[in-house]
Amino acid sequence: MYIEQANLSKRLIRECYGPIVETVAGVLIRDGRLPLGLLIKNTKLSAREVKQALVVLIQHGVVTHAASKEGAGRRMVTYYSANTRVVLRQQRLGLYLALVEERMGKEGVAVFRTVMENGIMSIGTVKERLGSSEWSQAAQIKLDAATSKLVRERFIVAVAPGDTVTRIDKTMEAEAVELDKLAVLPTAKELLTIRRMLNDRAEQEYSNTTVVGMKRVAEEEADGHVSKVVVGPDGRTLMVANGTNGADGTNGSESQDTVDQTQCFRVYYDRLDVFLRNQQLVNYFADKYNAGAGAIVKAMLRITESRTKTCRDRRSEVLSVAQVINQLPQDAPLADAVDTGSDMFFQDLAASATSGNGTAKGGSGNGALTPAKRTELAFALLEVVRADASGIVVKVDDRGGGQYQLNFDRAASALRDQSLDTLVHEKFGSLHARIVRVLRDKQKLDEKSVATAAMMPIAACRERLHDLALAGFIDSYEIARTVDRNPSRMFYLWYINPQKQTRAAMRYIFKSMTNIFARLDKELAARAPLVAKTKRADVAADQSLLTDSEKNELAALSAAQTRLEVANVRLDGMLLAVHDISPEHASF
Amino acid sequence: MAELEAKIYEHALKNPNGIDNDYLNDALPEHTLEDIVNGVNRLLQSGQLELLQVGRTILYRGVHRSEMERMSELTSDERLVYKHIENSGGEGIWVRTLKQKTNLLQGVITRCLKVLEQRALIKSVKSVKHPTRKLYMLINVDPSSDVTGGPWYTDQEMDSDFIDQLARQCYQFIYAHSFPRHNTKAVYSANHTGYPTSSQIKRFIHENRITNVDLSTANIEELLTMLVYDGKVERVAPVFDMGAGGGGRPAATSNPRTDWMYRALRVNVRDSPLTDIPCGRCPVFDRCSDSGAITPAKCEYFRKWLAF
C-alpha cells in the first residue's frame, strides 16, 4: 500500500460519501483489518456513526467483512477491511457512463446510473426510483429490454450474500472445511493439493458463463394467439411479432428472458475495464499504422467482447477471417489503408475465403469498394497487424484463410511499455528513453555495454543510469568479484524490473492525482463567496446580477476545473494502461 | 662461412613470416645441418636474425639493416621492451602488461619507454575503452578501431553530433521507403520486401557522399540499432521465399546478417499525462505535501499552468 494511494483513496471517499465515511475508511486503510470496537476507538466517532458509515461502505463494495471465532469462548468477531481498488474506480465513472450510453442507450444508462449510485439495488427498486410505472408501455418495454441487455452482457451482475465477505476469508474457510474432512493433520503435499483444488474450483466458477438473475417468462394470450411487442434489431424501435399455436393445437407459447425483479444487482466494474482496454488497443494500432488497421482490430475485439469476462483473460477465442470481415462496418476506412501492390497472394486468399464457407457479407459497401476488394484489403490488414512486433494478434491456423487470436497478456505489456516509455521520454529525455529500451531488450548489462549499445559517452550514460535508478525505473544487480564483496570490486549490472517500474509510475500517478484534487479544492475555496452567490435564487434566475469581473472569475474557475478534471481523467487512463489491465493485477 | 650466412640471411629476408631448420635444409642441400645451425647462431648473435615462436615451432626472421642499426643503439632491456611493443601491433600495450611480460622493474621500464619515445621509435595513445590507461605502440603503426573507437570517435571522444546527423539521414531514407508514395497514410502489406536493408543504406550514404568517413556495414547496423532503440524504426524479418519448394525456406543467396529490413514508424507526437501537468516536471515534487512550504495549493507552477 502506498501512502499516495491511501491519501488519494481518502480524498475520493470524502468527495463521494462525506467526511464521516472518509474518517472510517481512512482508519481501515491505514490500520488494515479491524473489528468494530477498535474501529470506533480509532475513529473517535460514535458507534452509530461508525455503523452507518460501514453500511454505506459495504453497500458500495469498498469494505468487506469476515467473521471468525476468537478467544477461549470462541465468540464470533467480525473484522472489516477496505479495498482501495474499488475506491479508485470512482474516477472512471464518467467513462463508464459514456460507454454504457453508447451501447445501451438512454434507458440503459438510467438503470446503470441508479444501480451505480446506490451500490446494490434490485431492478424493481430501480424502476420505482425512475418512476417507470408512469411511463408509457413502449417506454417500459424499452426499459426492460435495456435492463435485460445490461444483465446479459454483464454490465451489472447479481449479488449473492457472500459477495460482501472478504475474499481471503472465504478461501480460508473453504480450506478449513476441506481440512476438517481429514482425520489427521495434513502433510505439505496434501495441503498443496487442497489449495490447488480450491483454486481450480474458483477458476471454474469464474469461467462459468451462466448469467444469474434472468428468468424465463412464457407469454401467451387467451385465444392461443401469441403476440408480443419486441424491441427491433436496432435496439430502439418497437415492433409487433405475431406467432401462432402449433398445428396439433398444443400451446405454441413463446418465452423470453427477463430480469428477476427481486434480485439485487451491482455494477461489474472489471467487465467495463475490458471495453476501456479494447479502446486503448484500437488506438494503439490506429496510431502505429492507420485507421484501417484500427478498424480491423476493433472488429476483432467486438467479436471477443461477449466471451471476455474481465481483463484477467489472457487470450481471446479463436476468430475466423470471415467473422472479422462480417463484423467490419460498411464505412470502415479500408480503401486507403494498405497497398497490396496487386499482390496475387491476397487476391487468392480473398477468393478462397469467399468461395468456401466464409461468406463475406460485403454488400456493396461504400461506392468505391467491391466486396472482393474489401475482403482483399481486410486480409492484407489482418496480416499487417499480425506481423506487428508486439505479437498481440496471433495466427493460430491457416484453415479457411486464417484463424486468429488476440493475446491480451502481450497487449497489456505493449500498452504498459508504451506508457512508461512515453513517460520516461517526456520526463527525462530521449536519451534516457533509449537506455530504457536497450535494457528492456538486452536484460542485464553493465554501464559500458549500455553506453556501447546506446551509442553515448560512458560518463553521460552513467549519469543517466543513476537518474533512472533514483526515479525507480531501473534497478541494479551486484555480482561480487571477491569473497569480501568489496564494493569497488563488484560488477554492477543494470536491468529493468517491470514490477518495480510499474510501482514507480503508480506512485507518481497517485501523488499527482492527489495534488490535482488539492489544487481543485484551493481554486474552489478561493472563490467560495462567489460560488455561494451564484447559488442564490435571484442570481441563479438572473445572471446579469453578476459584475463583469465576477463573470470573468467564474469563467476562470470553470476553465481551471475543466483542465484539472481532464488531467485527472488522463492520469487515470495511464493508470489503467500501466496496471489495471494487466492479467496478473486484474481482479475478478 | 660468410657465404653460408649470407644465403641464410637472404632466405630469411625473403620470407618475412619466418623460416625453420627444415626449410633451410631443403633450400641449402649442399651444406650440412650442423653448418646451417652454426650459421644461424652467428647471425642471431650479430642481430641479423631473430627468433620467433609460432605455437611449438621455432622460426627465424631476418632483420633489415635499418632495423639493425636502430636496435644496435638500444640496450638489451630497451630492445626487449621494444619487441613487446612491436608485437602488440595496432592494439598497443599497457605498462602493467609490459611489466608482467618482461618481468622488469617498474623504474627500468619507465626509463626504457622514455628513451624509446625520445628516439621516436614508439608513441603513446589513449584508448576509448580505458580512458585512464596509456597504451604504447610503434610510431608508424595506426591504432586499431578498438583503441580509437572507430568512426564514431574523434580525438578520443564520441562525436555525438556526427552520429545524430548521420542517424537523421538514415531515418529520412528509411522513412521515404516505408510508406507508399502515392498515399502516405497507407502501409505496405505484410510481405512487402522493399524496405531498405543495411547494405542499401550504406550504399546510399556512400553514393551521396554524406560523409567522408569510411563506414562498414557493421557501423551502419550499429546506427540502425540505435534508431530502433529510439523507437523511430523497427527491424523487419527477412521474408522467406515461398516459391523455394514451399515450407518457407530462406532463399539460397540470402545473407542472414544483412537481409534484415528496416521500416520507419509513424512517430506521433504524444505527451504523457503525467508530464502534461506541472507535477510531472516539478523539481521539488518529492518535497510537495499537503502541509509545509511546498503544497499544491501554493504551487506557482500550477498557477502559471492554469493561467496559460
In this complex, do B272 and A522 lie within 8 Å of one another by their Cβ atoms?
A: no
Tell me how far apart the terminal alpha carbons of chain A are, to the nearest angstrom.
Answer: 20
Q: Provide φ and ψ at A323, rounded to 5°.
A: -60, -45
User: Is a pLDDT exceeding 70 seen at residue A229?
Assistant: no
Please name the residues between 269 and 288 in chain B that touch chain A, using a CB distance below 8 Å: 270-277, 279-281, 285, 288
User: Is a pLDDT exceeding 70 seen at residue A516?
Assistant: yes
Cα B23 to Cα B108: distance, rounded to the nearest angstrom: 39
For A345, which residue in chain B has the nearest alpha carbon? B191
CB pairs A-B closer than 8 Å: 149
Q: Taking a C-beta distance cutoff of 8 angstroms, is the pair B18, B60 a contact?
A: yes
In this complex, do B225 and A453 lie within 8 Å of one another by their Cβ atoms?
A: yes
Q: What is the pLDDT at residue A233?
A: 54
Residue tagged 506487428 (cell numbers): A388
Sign of torsion, CA A340 A346 A347 A353? Answer: negative
For residue range B272-299, list pLDDT tens digits in order. Answer: 888 889 998 898 998 998 888 899 999 9
Within 13 Å and on the Cβ side, how many CA atoms surround A118?
Answer: 17
Which residues partner with A219 through β-bridges?
Answer: A254
Most A-contacting residue of B129, B220, B229 (CB-CB within 10 A), to test interface: B229
User: Is a pLDDT exceeding 60 seen at residue A341?
Assistant: yes
Q: What is the pLDDT at residue B155?
A: 76
For residue range A35-88, list pLDDT tens digits in order. Answer: 999 999 999 999 999 999 999 999 999 999 988 877 777 788 899 999 988 899
In this complex, do A508 and B280 lie within 8 Å of one another by their Cβ atoms?
A: yes
Q: What is the pLDDT at residue A221?
A: 47
In this complex, do A441 and B185 lie within 8 Å of one another by their Cβ atoms?
A: no
For residue range A91-142, list pLDDT tens digits in order. Answer: 899 999 999 999 989 999 999 999 999 999 999 999 999 888 888 888 888 9
Q: What is the pLDDT at residue A247?
A: 40
The stretch B239-246 carries a mean pLDDT of: 49
Place A355 in a pLDDT band, splitting at 50, 70 and 90. low
Shortest alpha-carbon distance between residue B190 and chain A (Å): 5
Q: Taking a C-beta distance cutoff of 8 angstroms, is the pair A379, A360 a contact?
A: no
User: Is a pLDDT exceeding 80 seen at residue B115?
Assistant: yes
Shortest alpha-carbon distance between residue B178 and chain A (Å): 11
- Whether the complex's predicted ipTM surpasses the cut of 0.95: no
Cα A65 to Cα A356: distance, rounded to the nearest angstrom: 57
Which range has highest mean pLDDT (A218-232, A336-350, B52-66)?
B52-66
For B152, which residue in chain A has the nearest alpha carbon? A455
Residue B265: name the closest of B302, B240, B291, B228 by CA. Answer: B228
- Other beta carbons within 10 Å of B216: 12
Of A290, A427, A564, nearest to B281 by CB-CB distance is A427
Q: Taking a C-beta distance cutoff of 8 angstroms, is the pair A498, A584 a contact?
A: no
Sign of torsion, CA B292 B293 B294 B296? Answer: positive
Q: Taking a C-beta distance cutoff of 8 angstroms, is the pair A81, A68 a contact?
A: no
Which of the two residues, B207 and A343, has the higher pLDDT score? B207
For residue range A284-302, list pLDDT tens digits in order. Answer: 999 999 999 999 999 999 9
- Other beta carbons within 10 Å of B257: 12
Within 8 A of B299 by CB-CB distance, chain A residues are 515, 519
Residue tagged 493439493 (cell numbers): A193
Of B183, B190, B306, nearest to A383 by CB-CB distance is B190
For A432, which residue in chain B has the nearest alpha carbon? B230
Q: What is the pLDDT at residue B1?
A: 55
Most B-contacting residue of A3, A336, A339, A527 (CB-CB within 10 A), to test interface: A339
Q: What is the pLDDT at residue A364?
A: 41
Of A341, A419, A516, nearest to B189 by CB-CB distance is A341
User: What's the 3-state SS for A555-571?
Assistant: HHHHHHHHHHHHHHHHH
Which cell numbers in the block locate residue A107? Answer: 434507458
Which of the two residues, A230 and A382, has the higher pLDDT score? A382
Cα B55 to Cα B20: distance, rounded to the nearest angstrom: 13
Of A383, A457, A522, nearest to B189 by CB-CB distance is A383
With 0-12 CB in 10 A as exposed, 13-18 as middle and 19+ as buried, what is A518? buried
For residue range A12-40, list pLDDT tens digits in order. Answer: 999 889 999 999 999 999 998 899 999 99
Shortest alpha-carbon distance between residue A483 and chain B (Å): 25
User: Could you tell me if B243 lies within 8 Å of chain A, comparing CB atoms?
Assistant: no
Cα A48 to Cα B292: distance, rounded to the nearest angstrom: 35
For residue range A474-490, list pLDDT tens digits in order. Answer: 999 999 988 888 888 88
In this complex, do A573 and B290 lie within 8 Å of one another by their Cβ atoms?
A: no
- pLDDT, averaged across chain A: 85
Percent share of chain A, pLDDT over 90: 50
The stretch A320-338 carries a mean pLDDT of: 88
In this complex, do A422 and B272 lie within 8 Å of one another by their Cβ atoms?
A: yes
Cα A279 to Cα A284: distance, rounded to the nearest angstrom: 9
Helices (H), A70-229: 84-88, 93-118, 123-130, 137-152, 167-180, 188-207
Place B255 in a pLDDT band, splitting at 50, 70 and 90. low
User: Is a pLDDT exceeding 90 seen at residue B31?
Assistant: no
Of A293, A343, A427, nearest to B280 by CB-CB distance is A427
In this complex, do A570 and B265 lie within 8 Å of one another by their Cβ atoms?
A: no
Residue tagged 455561494 (cell numbers): A532
Which range is least confidently modeled, B78-92, B266-280, B290-304? B266-280
Q: What is the pLDDT at residue A363?
A: 41
* Contacting residues for A108 by C-beta, under 8 A, at least 6 apart: A100, A101, A146, A147, A149, A150, A155
Reduced to 3 states (helix: H, G, I; strand: E, B; else coil), residue B261 is: strand
Most A-contacting residue of B184, B240, B272, B298 (CB-CB within 10 A), to test interface: B272
The stretch B154-167 carries a mean pLDDT of: 87
Q: What is the pLDDT at residue A278?
A: 95
In this complex, do B266 and A560 lie within 8 Å of one another by their Cβ atoms?
A: no
Residue A585: name the closest of A489, A502, A465 by CA. Answer: A502
Within 8 A of A346 by CB-CB distance, chain B residues are 189
Within 8 A of B266 by CB-CB distance, chain A residues are 287-289
Which contacts qualify for A74-81: CB closer than 8 Å, 24 or more apart? A77/A35, A78/A35, A78/A36, A79/A33, A79/A34, A79/A35, A79/A166, A79/A169, A80/A28, A80/A33, A80/A34, A80/A35, A80/A36, A80/A39, A80/A54, A81/A28, A81/A32, A81/A33, A81/A34, A81/A166
Reduced to 3 states (helix: H, G, I; strand: E, B; else coil), residue A322 is: helix
Beta strands B187-188 and A338-339 are: parallel
Shortest alpha-carbon distance between residue A243 and chain B (Å): 51
Of A287, A336, A567, nearest to B186 by CB-CB distance is A336
For B225, which residue in chain A has the nearest alpha carbon? A453
- pLDDT, averaged across chain B: 84
User: Is a pLDDT exceeding 60 seen at residue A357?
Assistant: no
Q: Taking a C-beta distance cutoff of 8 angstroms, is the pair A347, A313 a contact?
A: no
Place A245 in a pLDDT band, splitting at 50, 70 and 90. very low
The stretch A142-158 carries a mean pLDDT of: 91
In this complex, do A289 and B306 lie within 8 Å of one another by their Cβ atoms?
A: no
In this complex, do B297 and A434 lie within 8 Å of one another by their Cβ atoms?
A: no
Which range has highest mean pLDDT (A235-249, A297-311, B17-31)?
A297-311
For residue range A414-462, list pLDDT tens digits in order. Answer: 999 999 999 999 889 999 999 999 999 998 999 989 999 999 988 999 9
Which of the two residues, A298 and A340, has the higher pLDDT score? A298
Of B223, B266, B274, nearest to A508 by CB-CB distance is B274
User: Is a pLDDT exceeding 50 seen at residue A246?
Assistant: no
Percent share of chain B, pLDDT over 70: 92
Shortest alpha-carbon distance between residue A437 and chain B (Å): 6
Within 8 A of B226 by CB-CB distance, chain A residues are 434, 454-455
Most A-contacting residue of B133, B228, B279, B300 (CB-CB within 10 A), to test interface: B279
Which residues partner with B158 through β-bridges?
Answer: B153
User: Is a pLDDT exceeding 90 seen at residue A261?
Assistant: no
With 0-12 CB in 10 A as exposed, 13-18 as middle and 19+ as buried, what is A74? exposed
Shortest alpha-carbon distance between residue A453 and chain B (Å): 7
Which cell numbers in the block locate residue B192? Answer: 512487402
Q: Provide φ and ψ at B239, rounded to 5°.
A: -80, 130
User: Is a pLDDT exceeding 50 seen at residue A380?
Assistant: yes
Cα A321 to Cα A386: distance, rounded to the nearest angstrom: 12
Q: Taking a C-beta distance cutoff of 8 angstroms, is the pair A10, A30 a contact?
A: no
Beta strands B153-154 and B157-158 are: antiparallel
Cα A574 to Cα A418: distance, rounded to the nearest angstrom: 10
Within 8 A of A336 by CB-CB distance, chain B residues are 183, 185-186
Which range has highest mean pLDDT (A209-218, A290-299, B205-214)?
A290-299
Cα B129 to Cα B148: distance, rounded to the nearest angstrom: 9
User: Is a pLDDT exceeding 70 seen at residue A492?
Assistant: yes
Q: What is the pLDDT at residue B245?
A: 42
Shortest alpha-carbon distance between residue B56 and chain A (Å): 35
Of B192, B228, B296, nearest to A515 by CB-CB distance is B296
Cα A63 to Cα A166: distance, rounded to the nearest angstrom: 8
Place A362 in a pLDDT band, splitting at 50, 70 and 90. very low
Within 8 A of B268 by CB-CB distance, chain A residues are 287
Within 8 A of B306 by CB-CB distance, chain A residues are 519, 523, 559-560, 563-564
Q: What is the pLDDT at residue A512?
A: 93
Q: What is the pLDDT at residue B292?
A: 86
Of B160, B271, B290, nearest to A518 by CB-CB distance is B290
Within 8 A of A337 by CB-CB distance, chain B residues are 185-187
The stretch B92-102 carries a mean pLDDT of: 88
In this complex, do B231 and A437 lie within 8 Å of one another by their Cβ atoms?
A: yes
Please name the residues between 179 and 238 in chain B that touch chain A, using a CB distance below 8 Å: 180, 183, 185-192, 222-223, 225-226, 228-231, 234
User: Is a pLDDT exceeding 70 seen at residue A227?
Assistant: no
In this complex, do B274 and A560 lie within 8 Å of one another by their Cβ atoms?
A: no
Distances (CA, A) of A512 to A84, A89, A520: 17, 16, 12
